[in-house]
Structures are given as structure tokens and as C-alpha cells.
Chain A
């Protein structure tokens, strides 16, 4: 009963937030609606016994990815060059295609009969995080390492794309500073008495 209430409330907020993401004019509002979507999804995943992934969704998406999105939205000067959006010409196509998607998927779903196996406790024994860890480090070790390589690739690509060297920038050259010798910096001048400045 309480589960049903939580479920339907979360679904309602999720759908409203998803509509907000795609309809709001301000990209900052879209990003915040997307944060709300992730929170509601995490509640729904908790109901499906995926506790670790629910927390990971909040930590990774809300904590990292959406903050990155918000930073980028706020850094870019979007308001100034806001174009007139001509949505009216493309809107029927978009809605038509999404209705087609819904119809196709519901048609596909109604033909099949998905029978739920009874709860064997595999997903939560001893607890979800520990069971997931055991599974991940025994059967999926290679994939886990590949995922780390993907993340490394993401770091390298993001840094090398956004790093740009401006000309005329004043910065330290550590090697030149260290290798400087006395004769580069110090000049001894013989000054005769009475001729100094």
C-alpha cells in the first residue's frame, strides 16, 4: 500500500520532470528538471531491489554529470544569442514519432508474456552492494577493467579538447627557472668614485 503510493508519486513526478526537461526554454531549468528525474528514478530503483545502483545514480549523475552540465550551461553565453525557435513546423513530426514508438513498444509488450520468477534472494543476499561486488569482481573482472580504461579515455579526451594555449600568456617555466645560473642574473659593474648615478 505504502509501496504503491511511493511508486505512483515517483512516476508522476518523473513524467512531469521529463516533460519539463524537453519543454522549458531555459537550459538551466532543463538541467534542474533532469536532476529531479534522476532522484525519482533512484526511488523507483530502490523499489526494484537495486539499492547500490540507486545510490550510484545519485552520486554519479546528480553529483557529477549534472553539475558538469550546469557548469557548462552557465559558462556558455547562451542567453545572448538565443535564436527564435521555430518548433511549430517540427513539433508534429516529433510527437508523431514518439507516439509511434509508444504504440510499437506497447504492441511488442502485449504480445509477450513476461512471467516473474519468484524472489530467490539472489539480488539481496547478503545485501545488494556486497552481492553486486562479488559478481562484478568474479565474473565481470575484464569488463570492469575495460570500464576503467573508458573512464581514463574520457579524462584524457576532455582535458585535451578543452585545454587551449593562449598566446602571450604569462606563466612559469620551471626548467628555465631552475637552470638559471649566477651570470644570467648578476652583473658586477666597476663604478669609479664620483661617477655613480
Chain B
């Protein structure tokens, strides 16, 4: 185990999450979960570099990413609930108001 292994974890986690967005593109709530996975993989990079360079900036940044991710999840789920109340569905195929 070396610190460089964490980059590999980060890369694979990111790739899995991106593939998840494509696979579950019909379901809004699973897309939100995949975004959380992407944020997690980014955090891995920050913490690994923080350890490599013995610098606190990486950990501070992860702290702020956690804050922003919590706010983002709360607002995203609130939008999801409003959407469900309005359309009775959370599937992206049903969101065709603009006919785009």
C-alpha cells in the first residue's frame, strides 16, 4: 500500500459513478447518488495529496466540499420532492414540458 494507490481508487470510483449516471439516467434520485459518489472520489484525491505534500490545504478543502455537498443534497432532494408533488413521477422521461 502506497499513497499512489489512492489515485487508482479515486479513478475507478469516479469511472463507476460516471457509468452509473449513464446507466441510471432515467431515475433522478440515483443520479443524485452518483453525484455523491463522484464527490467522494474527488475527496480521495484531495486527502491523498494532502498526505503526500504534508499540507493541510487538501483536508481543509475536503471539509468545505463536505459542507457544500450537504447543502447540495438537501436542496436537490427538496427540488425532487417538489417535482414529485407536481408531476407524480421522478423519471426523466416524464419531464418534457419544454419538448427539448
Contacts and interface: CB of A to CB of B under 8 A. Distances in A.
A91 B25 CA distance: 10
A140 to B, nearest CB: 5
B81 to A, nearest CB: 5
A56 B66 CA distance: 9
Interface of B: 1-9, 11-27, 29-30, 32-34, 36-37, 40, 43-44, 47-48, 50-56, 59-60, 62-64, 66-75, 77-82, 84-85, 88-91, 93
Interface residues of A: mostly helix, strand, loop or mixed?
helix
Nearest to B9: A11
Task: Tell me which of B18, B63, B84, B91 has the highest count of chain A C-beta atoms within 10 A of its own C-beta.
Answer: B63
Interface in A56-90: 56-57, 60-61, 64-65, 68-69, 72-73, 75-76, 78, 81, 83, 85, 87, 90
A90 B26 CA distance: 11
Nearest to A153: B71
A40 B54 CA distance: 23
Nearest to A65: B73
B90 A78 contact: yes
Contacts of B69: 65
Contacts of B12: 15, 102
Contacts, number: 217
A91 B23 contact: yes
Given A76-B90, A94-B20, A94-B22, 17 more contacts: A8-B1, A11-B5, A57-B66, A72-B81, A76-B81, A85-B26, A87-B23, A94-B19, A101-B18, A123-B56, A132-B59, A132-B63, A157-B75, A158-B74, A158-B78, A161-B75, A162-B81
A108 B55 CA distance: 23
Contacts of A57: 66
A123 B50 contact: yes
Interface of A: 3-4, 7-8, 11, 14-15, 18-19, 21-23, 27, 30-31, 34, 37-38, 41, 44-45, 47-50, 52-53, 56-57, 60-61, 64-65, 68-69, 72-73, 75-76, 78, 81, 83, 85, 87, 90-91, 93-95, 97-99, 101-102, 105-106, 109, 114-117, 119-120, 122-123, 131-132, 135-136, 140, 143, 147, 150-151, 153-155, 157-159, 161-162, 164
